[in-house]
Amino acid sequence: MIMLIVLAGCGKRVEDSEQVSPEEKIVIKFSHVVAENTPKGLAAQRFAALVKERTNGRVEVQVFPNSTLYKDGEEIQALQSGTVQMIAPTTSKLSGLFPQWQVFDLPYAFQDEDTVHRAMDGYIGTQLYQGLSLHKMKALAFWDNGFKQMTNSQRPLIHPVDFQGLTFRVMINSNVLKRQFEKLNAHPVEVSFDDLYRALECQEVDGGENTMSNICSKNLYKVQPYLTISNHGYMGYVVITNSDFWSSLPEDVRSLLEKTLLEVTHWEREQASIMNQKDLQQIISSGNVQVHYQSEAEKKEWEEILKPIYDEFRNVIGEALLRNVEDLKTG
């Protein structure tokens, strides 16, 4: 018999093909980049607490928020190497390896969260998840953050011309997001999420796009006096594990983790909606921000400018995925 040794603290085994024995404690390191008081942060904590309770401590999910372990762009490599066992990056950050995920960065692609969920439960989700499996990654859940709004430090953003000459932070890996701001005659700059507040405070960039929960939890509104409620783009998270690690787990543990994640996912989606509304009210109450709600006429102006992006990325994202997005809009 060959003795198996568990590598201390990393949750990975020397022999990936062998399963964890019933006596062994299983440690799952869950790394993410946002604050604890966000939909993702709270859901990760809830998942960890429920798993600990339901396994009587046999499985321990250690949550590392706020980029304490890995920053934007580092998480995926850490997962593939087995240094962490779970991550929950935004869809945009998967685009470096999987350009098709940029379908979620297309402006005005989804009218509400319901449409996003139908997309991920249908053809779009199936195709995107299959791509992950080719790189030793397995998607376990899809969590909401919400729809993005525009902020900046210079002036109200009402018409496309208002973006002229401004500099905007964009998430890493998404050429669609870069083109979005270029179409608006603004200059996009990649900035990691953990460095965003500093970049805005020092005016290295004028503005950005984010969800209300992120704008509030990271205090971005304190250095961004202009906010446009545009709902122009969606931000969601994919909860991912290393497929070798996942297959090494006993079947009963995998089943419990899947059921718990499903339960937490329903809870997380409800919380995301509640928190975004609550955080908007907190920002309004602060008196620091001038808020503009985009009208239907203004939305059409923005859409007209941004519409060519769909054709520019048709070959990158794929005709079938884009057609499915259009079907969801009309369906």
Total-model pTM? 0.88
- 55 inside domain: yes
Total of domains in the chain:
1
Output the pLDDT for position 71. 83
pLDDT of residue 35: 87
Q: What is the pLDDT of residue 11?
A: 44
Per-residue pLDDT, 5: 33
To which residue do tokens 């796009």 refer? Answer: 209
Range of the domain at 219: 26-330
Q: What is the predicted pLDDT for the residue at 2?
A: 37
Instruction: Answer yes or no: is 209 within a domain.
Output: yes
Residue 3 lies in a domain: no
Residue 316: per-residue pLDDT: 96
Please check whether residue 10 lies inside any domain of the structure: no
The DSSP letter of residue 90 is B
Q: Which residues partner with 60 through β-bridges?
A: 27
246-284 burial by CB neighbour count: b if 16+ within 10 A, else e?
bebbbeebeebbeebbeebbebbbebbeebbeebbeebe
CATH code for the domain of 289: 3.40.190.170
In sequence order, the 6+-apart residues with CB closer than 8 A to the CB of 305 are 160, 183, 184
Report pLDDT for 23: 65
User: What gap in Å lies between CA 203 and CA 197, rounded to an integer?
Assistant: 10
> Is 246 among the domain residues?
yes
Q: Is residue 6 part of a domain?
A: no
Look at residue 16 and tell me if it is in a domain: no
In a domain, 30, yes or no: yes
85 touches 79 (CB < 8 A): yes
List per-block mean pLDDT (blocks of 10 residues) for the chain, which spans 331 residues.
36 40 84 92 97 97 93 88 95 92 96 95 94 92 97 98 98 94 98 94 97 95 98 96 96 98 97 96 97 98 98 96 92 68
* pLDDT for 17: 36
Distance CA 29, CA 34 (A): 15
Q: So what's the pLDDT on residue 4?
A: 35
Angle (deg, nearest 10), helices 251-286 and 39-54: 150
Q: What is the pLDDT of residue 209?
A: 98
What pLDDT was estimated at residue 16?
38
